[in-house]
Amino acid sequence: MKMIIVFAAIVACALAAPVDDPKDATVLKYENDNIGVDGYKFAYETSNGISRSEQAELKNIGTEQEALNVQGSVTWTAPDGQVFTINFVADENGYRPEGAHIPKA
């Protein structure tokens, strides 16, 4: 009987252990600079290892080639502990991501 009580106590402790829930993440850093109609910049970092930064600039203002040039990166940690980072550019030539885990053509 004593073993059953000890086993039940161990199971109860295991079930009560905190779990890293993404919903419980807190914002550690947040920056936002909205330049207006010709660009923006922002960055944030959370307690669960996610960070993102992005900046944009309007190119060729007032011409037929007017385009928003966006550059940025996003980093996160997978459940197995591996860190992933994607750097990207998005402009008149499309979205172009780069990262060590992304296959190259």
pLDDT in tens, 20-30: 566 788 999 99
* Closest C-alpha to 98, from 66, 75, 79, 64: 75
List of E strands, the chain: 27-36, 39-46, 51-59, 67-77, 83-91, 94-98
pLDDT tens digits, 44-80: 999 998 999 999 998 888 888 888 899 999 999 988 9
Q: pTM to 2 decimals?
A: 0.70
Task: With residue 20 as reference, give the H or E element that holds it.
Answer: none
Three-class SS of residue 15?
Answer: helix
Average pLDDT over residues 83-92: 94
Provide the greatest CA pair distance for the chain: 83
pLDDT level of residue 9 (50, 70, 90 thresholds): very low
